[in-house]
């Protein structure tokens, strides 16, 4: 088996993928075509080529948050949102993903309410599950820029939909520009969701803010995203690092996203190695595969090549990731799939 095939064939779980950042150029083109065919206004023409942030791009993490509005303008009706979701799910499956936790921020648009946004995603996921082998679950996102009433509203909707569709909705998360908003103010909304049974993941340490990192770790989320500025070498403190080492909260690691937004200088100096060596659970993820022109199999390949992991270590990485999926009832199925792959390939 050549190495590229190995990384695609390896059954992988994707636990950190923002829907509107995951739209591939092919999906965006289909959405544009849909707009043209149905007479919907397409405001993206002038900006379409600006969507991807590549390796040599001069844009940074702050600039990155502006590009999402390009995708947003193509997913503002229930039909386009459903189309974007089903095309994206198909792409993850084609890349060898066997379980996906898709995340997205419900938003009001002239054509749909937040409630319709969640309903549309749930329906699109359920419909796709009829022909896909990949299992998909949904994490509802709260944007750090949201006013508190909106965060509360989203938490209430997440709880309502979790009760209605417990086999689709599994968690809630906090994301968006890390320079905006104050974590503590979102704690009541997140706690309410947690008490109702939803799992919680937080974007944590994407920029240097040790006080916030401490508050987030003390909140004891089920997972954290990125976890860059936690070790003192990366803008954290002894306290933030020792707390993470003690709590061993699993970290969703997004290599290319961090390199392309210049949150870390290059792959070699990515904090994956520190986390891995400290035996903190790490899950390789894409973040925004469309924006950063990547795929889950490519992220595994980059990780393995950068840190010289053996095929056995690679398979263990994918196997361990299964333990941290929010849908407890599919863990065994995923585990068995990986063990089968390891066995079949004599790893």
Ligand X SMILES: CNc1ncnc2c1ncn2[C@@H]1O[C@H](COP(=O)(O)O)[C@@H](O)[C@H]1O
| Least distance to ligand X, CB of residue 24, Å | 14
Does 136 participate in binding ligand X (rule CB under 6 A)? no
For residues 218 and 105, give the distance between their C-alpha atoms in angstroms, rounded to a whole number: 24
3-state secondary structure of 103: strand
Backbone phi, psi, residue 143, to 5°: -90, 135
Q: What angle do CA 313, 308, 270 make, to 5 degrees?
A: 100
Among 11, 21, 221, 227, binds ligand X (CB under 6 A): 21
| Least distance to ligand X, CB of residue 175, Å | 4
14 catalytic, yes or no?
A: no
Among 19, 142, 228, 304, binds ligand X (CB under 6 A): 19
Any bridge partners for residue 203, and if so which? Answer: 225
Among 64, 132, 154, 168, binds ligand X (CB under 6 A): 64
For residues 305 and 68, give the distance between their C-alpha atoms in angstroms, rounded to a whole number: 30
Does 175 participate in binding ligand X (rule CB under 6 A)? yes
- Find, among 303, 327, 326, 306, the residue nearest to 315 by Cα: 303
Q: Which is nearer to ligand X, 298 or 337 (CB)?
A: 298
Does 104 participate in binding ligand X (rule CB under 6 A)? yes
Any bridge partners for residue 202, and if so which? Answer: 174, 224
Q: Which is nearer to ligand X, 42 or 239 (CB)?
A: 42
CA distance from start to end of the chain:
13
| Least distance to ligand X, CB of residue 21, Å | 4
Among 6, 7, 51, 68, binds ligand X (CB under 6 A): 68
Question: Number of residues in contact with ligand X, rule: CB under 6 A?
Answer: 18
Among 257, 294, 295, 297, binds ligand X (CB under 6 A): 257
Does 288 participate in binding ligand X (rule CB under 6 A)? yes
Contacts 24+ apart (CB under 8 A), 315-319: 315/10, 315/341, 315/342, 315/345, 315/347, 317/282, 317/284, 318/10, 318/11, 318/12, 318/13, 318/284
Does 286 participate in binding ligand X (rule CB under 6 A)? no
Does 287 participate in binding ligand X (rule CB under 6 A)? yes
- Find, among 211, 247, 201, 203, the residue nearest to 227 by Cα: 203
Any bridge partners for residue 284, and if so which? Answer: 253
Q: Which of 91, 101, 206, 299 is catalytic?
A: 206
Piece of the chain touching ligand X by CB under 6 A; list 12-20, 93-101, 120-128, 232-240: 12-20
The catalytic residues are: 206
Binding residues (CB under 6 A) for ligand X: these are 18-21, 64, 68, 104-105, 141, 143, 175-176, 203, 206, 257, 261, 287-288
């Amino acid at each position: 088996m050549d190495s590229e095939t190995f990384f695609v064939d390896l059954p992988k779980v994707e636990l950190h993928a923002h829907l509107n950042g995951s739209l591939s150029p092919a999906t965006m083109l289909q959405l544009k075509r849909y707009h043209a065919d149905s007479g919907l206004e397409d405001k993206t023409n002038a900006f379409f080529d600006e969507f991807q942030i590549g390796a040599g791009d001069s844009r940074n993490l702050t600039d990155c948050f502006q590009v999402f509005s390009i995708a947003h303008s193509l997913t503002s009706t229930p039909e386009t949102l459903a189309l974007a979701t089903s095309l994206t799910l198909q792409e993850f499956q084609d890349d060898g993903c066997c379980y996906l936790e898709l995340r997205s921020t419900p938003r009001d648009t002239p054509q749909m309410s937040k409630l319709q946004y969640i309903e549309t995603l749930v329906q699109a996921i359920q419909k796709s599950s009829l022909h896909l082998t990949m299992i998909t679950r949904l994490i509802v996102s709260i944007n750090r820029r949201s006013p508190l009433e909106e965060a509360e509203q989203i938490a209430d909707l997440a709880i309502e939909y979790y009760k209605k569709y417990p086999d689709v909705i599994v968690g809630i998360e906090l994301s968006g520009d890390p320079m905006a908003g104050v974590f503590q103010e979102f704690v009541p909304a997140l706690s309410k969701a947690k008490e109702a049974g939803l799992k919680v993941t937080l974007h944590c340490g994407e920029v240097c803010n040790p006080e916030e990192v401490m508050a987030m770790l003390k909140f004891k989320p089920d997972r954290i995203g990125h976890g860059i500025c936690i070790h003192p070498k990366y803008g954290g403190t002894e306290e933030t690092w020792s707390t993470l080492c003690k709590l061993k909260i699993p970290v969703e690691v997004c290599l290319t996203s961090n390199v392309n937004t210049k949150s870390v200088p290059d792959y070699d100096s990515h904090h994956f190695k520190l986390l891995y060596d400290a035996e903190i659970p790490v899950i390789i993820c894409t973040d925004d595969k469309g924006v950063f022109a990547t795929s889950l199999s490519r992220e595994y390949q980059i990780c393995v090549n950068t840190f010289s992991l053996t095929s056995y270590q690679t398979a263990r990485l994918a196997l361990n990731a299964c333990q941290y999926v929010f849908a407890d009832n599919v863990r065994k199925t995923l585990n068995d799939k990986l063990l089968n792959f390891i066995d079949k390939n004599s790893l």
